Amino acid sequence: MRKQIIRALSLVVFLSAQNCLSDEVPRFADKVFLNGDIITLDKLKGTAEAVATRKGLINAVGSNVDLRKLIGPKTQVIDLQAQTLVPGFIDAHSHFNHALTMATWANVSPPPVGKAASIDALISILKQHWKTTKPHPKDSWLLAYGYDENTYGRHLTRHDLDAHFPDVPVTLMHVSGHGAVLNSAALTAMNIDAQTPTPKGGLIARLAGSQEPAGLLMETAWIPLLHKFLAMSLENYDSSFTMAVNRYLRNGFTTIQDGSAQYSDIKRYQEQAAAHKLPIDLMALPIFIDQEKVFADPSLLPRQVKNRLKIAGIKLIADGSPQGKTAYFTQAFHVLSPAGEENWHGEPLLPYEKLRELFSAASTRGWQIYTHANGDAAIDMVIKIHRQAAISASDGRRNVVIHSQFVREDQLDAYVELGMIPSYFSNHAYFWGDAHTKNLGSERANFLSPMRTSIDKGLRFTNHSDYIITPLDPMMQMWTAVSRKSREGKVIGAKESITAMQALSAITIDAAYQYFEEDKKGSIEVGKLADFTILSDNPLKVPLDEIREIEIVATIKEGLELYRAPQTGKLVKATPIN
């Protein structure tokens, strides 16, 4: 025992000597950011003026005076000029593959995302896109995204498109991503006609008084076609991949997600990552339809990270889209279904037992499970599956319910009990808050993405754009979470508004928590990755409606500046101080 005590005391003396030596000979930083308005998201630190990095990590946070001590002859000093530095934005849910594949598609989104304010304007955009992308190889398709019937008061039919494109196959993907309108040439090419049965969990709209398809396909009638269209859109994969990554960088993201990746997508991501063409972290969620392939591949293990590519979890889908009127509710919509049915509740994408089977197969293998569920009836299914699997918060699984748009308050209590994370979608308040009020009633609409109630219950949540469904714009995400204003200027659920700080947390430290990465990302603390986003203004200080106007000045991943906005001209490298 005496020998052990002597050894312990000797170790203490040795460590003390090492600490003294470190104090006498400070390690200079690789970079020091000075004169900033720094929001650390560290509850103990709060704000700071300066931050220093070394070998891709944060090695000091504090005042300008203190951090000048870490500036050596080779230190790069960056003068923030009172601009705001925050943790790098973390994408809680989007579709990287859509950014990769849809760069060549026509944008038929209504304002402010696009210019398709009327059906005539939409047709004009299609014509112009087709004209400017000539020459067209044989069997070329005219593909578009952002179509939203809520803008026009009705769905387009194949006849609306046939009048202008009688021979060219045209597909307008619905803004929800859960459906599309096809013209006659496209329907014929996909072998869809009057004899085609409507698949379970899907919808094929029919022309009045007949079984002829009208053009609108939703859910399981559409999803297999979407995968075909995505595959045909990649002529130059390497350049498309780089363009897609750069789009996220321009928006301040240092961690991104492919929220519905096919097995073939993931194998190509692995190739890009192995070639060191992935400068930021990509969280890939394999889609359930490829689940067995994923389980059989030894290179794809739960939460495995290699060359910045992380296999983050399995993606399940419980229902459809609220703005597409295919989400699954316990109470009926106030309007007819997309096919004209009364007393429409929506429907699950998969039968309960099939969803449970898929969940069980992934859960028993240790996978974190991300389930798309919008309507409260779909969320009931997810909660029931967790309870039947005897999962509780103490298990630490952090399974995510993507969107959780119309979760009930009692279901939030279940989330707490089961340790589940809702990833909310506050942009809905702006883009479809008015439509939800009409389609579902004000009570349900006002409780969409209930962030304030979630905070009151001690529930941790994230917020996302679901890009390409809404723009890849984190400042707009923050603004919609705080303001909850609709396009018409109405506040959709004022009681669920949160503070700008809470909105920032949802796309930084809380998003890191969703990925089990809060120990190395999401806040500006010593020892964490030097992932930063520099903003033109402080979202905690500007007037509410100016939050969405804040610009991304620079994006920094592990100390390396990967993007800088050319128009700002305010971020400068200062002269090193010896």
The confidence band for 233, taking pLDDT boundaries of 50, 70 and 90, is low
The confidence score (pLDDT) of residue 230 equals: 74
Asked if residue 21 has pLDDT above 60, the reply is no
Which range, of 127-136, 304-313, 468-477, 516-525, averages the lowest pLDDT? 127-136
Structure tokens at 50: 């300066």
User: Which residue is associated with the tokens 């890849």?
Assistant: 472
Q: Is the backbone peptide bond immediately before 450 cis, with ω within 30 degrees of 0?
A: no
- Distance between CA 228 and CA 191 in Å, rounded? 14
- Distance between CA 428 and CA 248 in Å, rounded? 21
Query: What 3-state DSSP class applies to 153?
Result: coil
* Closest to 336 in 3D by CA, of 345, 328, 327: 345
**Whole-Å CA distances, 252 to 134, 532, 536:** 34, 8, 12
Amino acid at 384: K
Asked if residue 99 has pLDDT above 90, the reply is no
- Distance between CA 173 and CA 180 in Å, rounded? 4
- Distance between CA 13 and CA 213 in Å, rounded? 82
User: Which residue is associated with the tokens 């429409």?
Assistant: 344
Question: Which structural domains are found in the chain, ordered by start?
Answer: 1-88+524-578 (2.30.40.10), 106-232 (3.10.310.70), 237-521 (3.20.20.140)
Measured N-to-C along each axis, helices 263-274 and 237-250 cross at an angle, to the nearest 10 degrees, of 80
- Distance between CA 575 and CA 34 in Å, rounded? 12
Q: What is the pLDDT of residues 506-531, one digit of tens each?
A: 999 999 999 999 999 999 999 999 99
The confidence score (pLDDT) of residue 24 equals: 37
Percentage of the chain lying above the pLDDT 70 cut: 93
By the 10 Å C-beta count (0-12 exposed, 13-18 middle, 19+ buried), 40 is classed as buried
Q: What is the pLDDT of residues 37-60, one digit of tens each?
A: 999 999 888 899 999 999 999 999
The confidence band for 552, taking pLDDT boundaries of 50, 70 and 90, is very high
- Distance between CA 59 and CA 13 in Å, rounded? 25
**Whole-model pTM?**
0.88
Query: What 3-state DSSP class applies to 31?
Result: strand
The DSSP symbol for 288 reads G
Q: What is the pLDDT of residues 272-285, one digit of tens each?
A: 999 999 999 999 99
> How far, in whole angstroms, is CA 149 from its chain's centroid?
23
Which residues does 162 contact at the CB level (< 8 Å), separation at least 6? 183, 184, 185
The confidence score (pLDDT) of residue 19 equals: 39
Q: Please tell me which residue, 74 or 237, carries the higher pLDDT value.
A: 74
Mean pLDDT (the chain, rounded): 91
Which H or E run contains 35? none
CB 382 within 8 A of CB 349: no
Structure tokens at 35: 């004169």
The confidence band for 575, taking pLDDT boundaries of 50, 70 and 90, is very low
